[in-house]
Structures are given as C-alpha cells and as structure tokens.
Structure 1
Amino acid sequence: MGQSSMRKFIAIWASSLVTMTGTALTGFALGVWVYLETGSTTQLALTFVLAFLPGILFSPLAGALVDRWSRRAILLTSDAVGIGTTLTLGLLFTAGQLQPWHIFVTTVIRSTLRAMQVPALNSMVVLLAPKDQIGRANGLMGVATAVSQTVAPALGGALMYGVGLNWVLFIDCATFVVNVVVLLLNRIPTPPASKAGTEGKGSLRTEIAQGWRVMAGKRGLVALALFYAALDLSVGFVDVLITPIVVSFASVSALGVVMTVGGIGLVLGSVTMASWGGPRRRIHGLAGFAVPLGLFLCIGSLRPSVALVAVAAFGFMFCSMIIDGTSRSVIGVEVEPDLQGRVFASFNMVTNTVLCTSYLLAGPVADRVFEPLLVENGALAGSVGEVVGVGPGRGMALLLGLLGLLVLATAVAGYLTPSLRGLAHKASKPAETDGSDAGEGTQGVDAAEAESQETVAGGARQPVSDR
C-alpha cells in the first residue's frame, strides 16, 4: 500500500475526528438537557444504557453486514441517518416540542448504527495503512476518540449556555456533512478475498457464526478477549466511581480539573501510540502497560487528594490508550481483511457486555457494600481505614484500590498465558498477502516465535491470534 492510500486514510481519519467531536458534543448536551428537564438521575442513566445496549445486541449482525457491504457505503449511510436524526432533534427543540423520549429513540438509532460504524472504521485501517504503519494508524484512531471525548464536555457546556442546544445539534449536523464530502472523494478498497472468507459465505446466520468461530478458533484471540474484558470490568467501575470519589472530599471545579488531566492523558496516550506504533512485542503493549495502569489505580485510592487522583487519572488514561491501540493493531494484522468486520464485532460484543455490566454494578456495589465498611465505626474503619481514611467516599476508594490489584493480577495472568504472550510481533516491513487461510501463516512473527507457537499447540501449527 503506497503513500496515496495513507493520504486517503489521513483524510478519512481527519473527517472522522471532526464527526466524532460533533457527536460527542451532542451526546453530552442531550444528557444535560434530559437531566435539567426531568431532574431524574434514572432518566440520565437510561441515556447511557441506551447508548450501549442496542449496539451490543446488534453487533454480531453488524459485523457480518460490514464484511458483506462496502465500508464506505456503510459510513455514508450512517452519516446520512445521523444528519436526519440530528436535524430532526434541532427542529423539534426550536419549535419547543422536544421531549426526552425523542432523545431516547435517537440514542437507540445511533447506538445501532455505531455497531456498524466501529468495525467498519477499525477494519478500514488495514485496507489503507501500510502493514508497518498499522500501529501508528490505530494510534491515530485513538487520537480521534481521545480528542473528541476530551473536548466535548468543556465545549459542549460552553455552547449549551452560549448559543443553546439547537445550535449544538446544527453544528453536529454540519460535521456529518463534512464527513460525507470526504468519504465521497476518497474510495476505500474492497478487502481481498481470502480462503476462509470465501468458505464462510452464505446466509447471514452462517457469516455471523463464522465471526465467532474465527475468534474462538485462535487461542490468542480468545486470550486477548478475556484479558481485555477483565480490564473493562475495572474500567467500567472507574468511569462511574471517579465523580463521587472526588466530590466526596473536593468541589465540582476540582472534579473538572481531574477530568481535564485525565483527558490530557487520554490524548497523549493516543498521540504516543500514533507516533510510536507500540512495542515490537505485542504482549508488552498489553500486559506490560496493564501493570502501571493497575498501580495508578492503587495510588489514586490512598488519600483524599485532588493531586493524587489527578495523577492516577492521567496515568490510567494514558496506559489505556496504549493497550487499546495495541489490541486493535493485532486484530488488524492477524485476521483476514474480509473477516475483520465480523471479528471486531464479536470482540466488541464480548468486551462491551462486560463494560456495560460493570456500569450497572458499580453503584450498588459501592453504595451497599464498600461505603458502609469505611464510615465512622464501620467494619474496616480501625484497620483499612488507617490507610485510606474514613468517611464519605473512602469505601469507594477502597474499591478503586482493589480494582487496581485486579488489574495487576490480570497483567500477571497475561504474561503467564502462552497464547497471549505469543501474539505476532509488530511488522518491520509489509508482509505479502497471498490470500491463504489464516491458519497457514503467522504474519510478522519471527521463526523462533512461530516454533514456540507450534510447541504450545502440541505440535500442530496454530495461527497467532489476538484481541
């Protein structure tokens, strides 16, 4: 793949960055509007659940459709629907007719479409970026996500109070238009047909099942899915707990400082991945960065200190982006392009299910189990309380520290898992594509590593897998 393909990738990446930022602005603004209109935390929480659940349920079908259809057609259709739904909400708000249920329906539609957009964008990377640049290209995709998530809360809040919700929606609509123009001007290549992809063609049910078979048939992919899911269990709790932990001992403005510092870590982590491409041995980009990630969580739980929690948030976000970029890079290298939509969708369904579950569990576990332990005269006030403190929020801090230990245990388990440790090395030069079955080669793996894989498999050659 030459420079022209990389230029196409950069153009589509830049327009995706603009669109992601617009979508994040709208998501933030709509959530604020629902809470201000209803005063209900439950209805606000419902918007988060609706943003995840439909996409999770639709993921297997979405992955099969991505591998059947043109990536560009999927992205263009999604943008067109995005324009229609956003414009409708803007007009309803301007007319004074906007209701929370309008937002709930729109959120379901967007979540369902995102189940197709994400695997389409992820699988696009390997079609446009040279093999030795896949790590950096995935890092750039992380930059787009990080920047949009960092900018959206601050910019969305300013726009809500400065120009109103209707202008936030119309700005989002304009970002969709920008992406449509860029996609119309840049063609995304059709994935080359592979033996496995050709054999798997048939009904949608057959193709959906093949996505699961490909992932389940590669030990490294299964190990990576379990590894990533274990990390997501902690990530979901941290996402929910960070706000009440900080607010329990500091002001809302201090929380804003912590979130901003965490956002900077998110951006710098993705920029680092984009410029570096990750370590040559993939395991160091996964389990290796899970070690400091777990340590940062433990540090953030030690004292009720804004500075300490901010440092923990920065390190947590930074390491998360390296792990995420490395994971997507391995799938991009190890799975045939015409199967990646299904595999990415299957992988995302597993990990997002765990993430959504942890969102649902975080509140009850924190409020009913851990907080009572570290109140005055609580069961652990005289022991653990001497270390992390006693009072509001310290039970959640204890939970945060235990999650850090869970992440450290996950990192150790990752290094002790042969199939995860034997993931393909980062390619130093483009590998040739011969259309052969995935089980007959190990892209980017040196001879010694390939031999190690054979030994682990009991003598039978097993494909190196991933995420």
Structure 2
Amino acid sequence: MTGMLRGFGVLWFGQTVSFVGSALTGFVLGVWVYQSTGSATQFAIISLAAVLPGIVVAPFAGVLADRRDRRRIMLVADAAAGLVTAGVAALLWADQLTVWHIYLATAATAVFNTAHITAFYAMMPLLVPREGLGRANGLMQMTQAGQIAAPLLAGVLVGTIGLRGVILIDLCTMAVGIVLLLTARLDPSATAAPAAGTRITLGEDLGYGWRLLRGKPGLFQLAVLFGGFNFLFATAGVLVQPLILSFGSAATLGVLMFAGGAGLFAGSLVMSAWGGPRRRIRGIIGFLAWGGVALFLHGMYPSAWLIAVVAPLFLFTLPILNGSVMTLIQTKVPTESLGRVIATTRMIGQAATPVAYLVAGPLADRVAEPALAPDGALAGSVGAVIGTGPGRGIAGLFWLIGAAMVLLAGVAAARPRLRRLETELPDAAGDDTAGLAVAATADGVETDQSEKGSPRNATQPA
C-alpha cells in the first residue's frame, strides 16, 4: 500500500510541474495574441479553444481510459502535448508564428490534457486507499491552484527571459512529467485497462457514462449540480475583473487576483490535509451556500477591501466542492467504468463554461449596466442599495449569481435521491475491480454483476 501511495505522489508531482509549465505558456501566448492583434475577441477565442475541444473529446477519452493501459495513455498524451509546444517554439524561432497557429495549438493541447486527466482520475482509486481519496483529490485541486497562480510568475518571466524562454521552461517541465511517469513504480494492475475484455460497440461505449449516470439518479443529480455550479462560477469568473476595474486600477486588479488565488490555494491545502467533510453531500450543499453568500457580497459596495475578503472566501470553497464531487464518483463507480463516467461528468460540468462565456458579457453590457445607470430602470430600487454608475450593473449580476448559487444549494438539499446518495448507493469494490465482467441490464445500463452479495460493497460512510 505504501508503494501505491508513493506512486500516486510521484505522478501527482510530475503532473503538477508539467501543468504549471503549460499554464505559463498559455498565459504568455494569450498576451502575444492580444498584443499582436489588439482584439479582445481574438483573445477570447483562445479561452474557447481551451475548453470546447475537451468537451467534445471527453467521451472518447473516457472510453480510452477504461479500455487501454492508463499509464500509456498519459505518456502518449504528454508526449503529444510536448510536440505541439515544440512546434509552436519552432514557428516562433522562425518568425512564422501566427494567431491561427495559437488556436490550433491550444485546441490540440486541450484534447491531450483531457485524455491525460481522465486516465489519471480513473486510476486514482487503484493507487490510493478509499479513505485517502479525499486528500488525494485535494492535492489534485492544488495543481489547479498552481495553474491559476502561474500568470503571476509568467508576468515576471516574460519581462526577464521573454516568450522564447517561457516556452523552453514549459518544454522542460513536460520532460520532467514524462520522466516521472515513466519511472514511477506502479503495480501493473493499477494501470491496466480494466474493461478491455468487454465487447460492446463504440457507440454504446461513448454513451455508456451517460446511461450509467441516468440509471443511478443520485449520481446523475450530482453531475447536474456540478454543471449548474460551473455555470455560475464561470459567469462570475468572466465578470469579476470588469467589476474590479470599474473602481480600481490594473495594479489593484493584480493584487486582488493574487488574494483570490491565495484563497484557492488555502482551500486546496485544507482539502488535502482534511480529506473533505465526512458527510460529503451535506458538505457540498453547505459549501455551495457559503460560496453563494460570498459571491453575493461581491456586489455590495465598490471597495477593494471588500473584494480582498470575499474573493478568497469564495475561492476557498472551490477545491472542497470539486474534490468532494470527484471523491464521491470514484467511491461509487466501479473502476472498469470510471473513465467513462468521469469523462461524462466532466463534460456535463464543462459544457456550462462556454455558455457562461457567451452570455455574461452581453448580459452585463446590454441589460445590467443600463438598468443601473444613474437614470436606469433599477436606479431607484437596487441602485439605492448598491449604487449606480459604471460597474454597478455587474455588481447587480453578482447579487443574482450569488442568490442563484444559494438557491441551487437549497434545490440540492430538497432532492431526496441526491441527499441520500451516500447511504442508498453502495460503494463500488476497491482495488480488486479490474477485469470484472459487466453485463447489460434491461434498460441498457451496464452493471457490475459481482456487486450482488459482495461484502466489500456494503454501504460505508464517506
């Protein structure tokens, strides 16, 4: 067991180093596009290119994670992402780099990262004992915190070693990740394809995760809850910078973004040390409501000091929410199905992000800001509380987003199947699940036949 934990730690460290390096390159390439074109639209397209391909290929990544050796998938994905970055470097050195090259590179990297992360999440229950999954997922959230903090370092690096130097650092971090992935001592049973022996069509495989979730209402409702949270989070993420800039300078924005990142990092540390709430569904609902209140408070008053407090309070909840959702899925889904179910859950959650990107800007510019102008329709009501003028429409949207998140927590608490998910749905088998036979039920959902009567599948408190 100690060797398995060590193996997870090695993989996690290598992934973190590699992903932070990629985040550095992603940030500086975005800056390069904006400086080269002066177009906010072309800059925004990079964000869409980083999200949409991952959503599209998620079902395929899930099938691969269940039917191919998971370490090999991660190696191929990392190597392919490295080749893409090397191609960008070659074009830059030859002074041939154009904006469309950046779009293609961003989209390709998103595809390979989706394959990598799906395989890693699916392998985690075979590397970490069940009682340690919450802490392990906390470490995974720390990786995300590192990626968000990367732009702070990238800004310094661009001014000292330039774009070429940042890309070279990225290539070196990718090499570190690949070497650690190759040399990590892992039990072959932890990386082997657990569903390689089952025979179903590709179409059935691609829809498998959706069918399994639909056949387990509590898990499906959890996935939908995750998608709703991501939509609200992404909407707030698009609007928070314009909100701050409506009353503060660019320097103030940088300080407040750092403060928010500190909250995210603190939440990751807490999750990795604590492992999350014992009753995970109750914890998810509680932290969802906490986050909603923190978002609501963003709009109360145009104050940098206020944002410096409430932004970290909100982002503190993110690692605990994400880590708890992933731990529940890893606990309740058999390992031979885990890749496809994780991919489907991530697809449901991430699909909300581009919608938020497309909706947030027009809603703020064309509806909320005019309504809270000094002579706007809401100036005498909402405006009497939060003020009127530039940025106050966005502040009003934060009221709506925060209230919607609290309402989402209330709806989740009112759903009996979701509320009782941990007690009604038995835990999946642990590290002995590889190679178990699956069979189709009458409604087309595959179930693990060994679950029936298995003492290891007795319901356990999370």
Partner Cα separation in structure 2 for residue 194 and residue 102 of structure 1: 35
Partner Cα separation in structure 2 for residue 443 and residue 193 of structure 1: 22
Give the direction of change, closer, same or farther, for the CA distance of 1:205–1:421 in structure 2 (3 Å limit). same
Segments of 5+ residues of structure 1 without an aligned counterpart are 450-463
Q: Counterpart in 2 of 1:326? A: 324
**Shift in Å at residue 182 of structure 1?**
0.7
Q: Counterpart in 1 of 2:312? A: 314
Note if contact 1:211-1:346 (Cα within 8 Å) is conserved in structure 2.
Answer: yes
Q: Counterpart in 2 of 1:302? A: 300
Partner Cα separation in structure 2 for residue 444 and residue 30 of structure 1: 51
Amino acid at match of 1:107: T
Note if contact 1:63-1:345 (Cα within 8 Å) is conserved in structure 2.
Answer: yes
Report whether the alignment pairs 1:119 with 2:133. no
Q: Counterpart in 2 of 1:394? A: 392
**Shift in Å at residue 124 of structure 1?**
2.0
Give the direction of change, closer, same or farther, for the CA distance of 1:93–1:198 in structure 2 (3 Å limit). closer
Give the direction of change, closer, same or farther, for the CA distance of 1:189–1:142 in structure 2 (3 Å limit). farther
Partner Cα separation in structure 1 for residue 361 and residue 214 of structure 2: 33
After superposition, residues 267-278 of structure 1 pair within 5 angstroms as 267-278=265-276
Amino acid at match of 2:40: T
**Shift in Å at residue 427 of structure 1?**
11
Report whether the alignment pairs 1:56 with 2:49. no
Q: Counterpart in 2 of 1:457? A: none
Amino acid at match of 1:414: A
Note if contact 2:330-2:338 (Cα within 8 Å) is conserved in structure 1.
Answer: yes
After superposition, residues 370-409 of structure 1 pair within 5 angstroms as 370-409=368-407
Q: Counterpart in 2 of 1:348? A: 346
Provide Cα deviations, 1:265-306, integer angstroms capped at 9, x if missing partner: 111111111110111111122111111100101111100011
Report whether the alignment pairs 1:220 with 2:218. yes
Give the direction of change, closer, same or farther, for the CA distance of 1:54–1:18 in structure 2 (3 Å limit). same
Note if contact 2:125-2:431 (Cα within 8 Å) is conserved in structure 1.
Answer: no
Note if contact 2:138-2:269 (Cα within 8 Å) is conserved in structure 1.
Answer: yes
Partner Cα separation in structure 2 for residue 126 and residue 277 of structure 1: 14
**Shift in Å at residue 255 of structure 1?**
0.8
Report whether the alignment pairs 1:72 with 2:86. no
Q: Counterpart in 1 of 2:167? A: 169
Instruction: State the TM-score, normalized to the length of structure 2.
Output: 0.91
Provide Cα deviations, 1:60-119, integer angstroms capped at 9, x if missing partner: 112111111111111111111122111121122122221111111111111111221221
Note if contact 1:194-1:437 (Cα within 8 Å) is conserved in structure 2.
Answer: no
RMSD: 2.3
**Shift in Å at residue 432 of structure 1?**
7.6
Amino acid at match of 1:396: I
Amino acid at match of 2:227: A
Segments of 5+ residues of structure 2 without an aligned counterpart are 437-447
Give the direction of change, closer, same or farther, for the CA distance of 1:311–1:114 in structure 2 (3 Å limit). same
Note if contact 1:71-1:188 (Cα within 8 Å) is conserved in structure 2.
Answer: no
Further displaced range: 55-64 or 90-99: 90-99
Report whether the alignment pairs 1:423 with 2:437. no
**Shift in Å at residue 121 of structure 1?**
1.7
Partner Cα separation in structure 2 for residue 238 and residue 358 of structure 1: 9
Note if contact 2:69-2:191 (Cα within 8 Å) is conserved in structure 1.
Answer: no
Partner Cα separation in structure 2 for residue 391 and residue 248 of structure 1: 9
SS in 1 for 2:421: coil
Percent identity for Structure 1 against Structure 2: 39
Count of paired positions: 444
Report whether the alignment pairs 1:445 with 2:445. no
Note if contact 1:233-1:355 (Cα within 8 Å) is conserved in structure 2.
Answer: yes
**Shift in Å at residue 191 of structure 1?**
5.4
Partner Cα separation in structure 1 for residue 294 and residue 174 of structure 2: 37
Amino acid at match of 1:46: I
Q: Counterpart in 1 of 2:43? A: 44
Partner Cα separation in structure 1 for residue 322 and residue 342 of structure 2: 13
Give the direction of change, closer, same or farther, for the CA distance of 1:258–1:128 in structure 2 (3 Å limit). same
Note if contact 2:294-2:314 (Cα within 8 Å) is conserved in structure 1.
Answer: yes
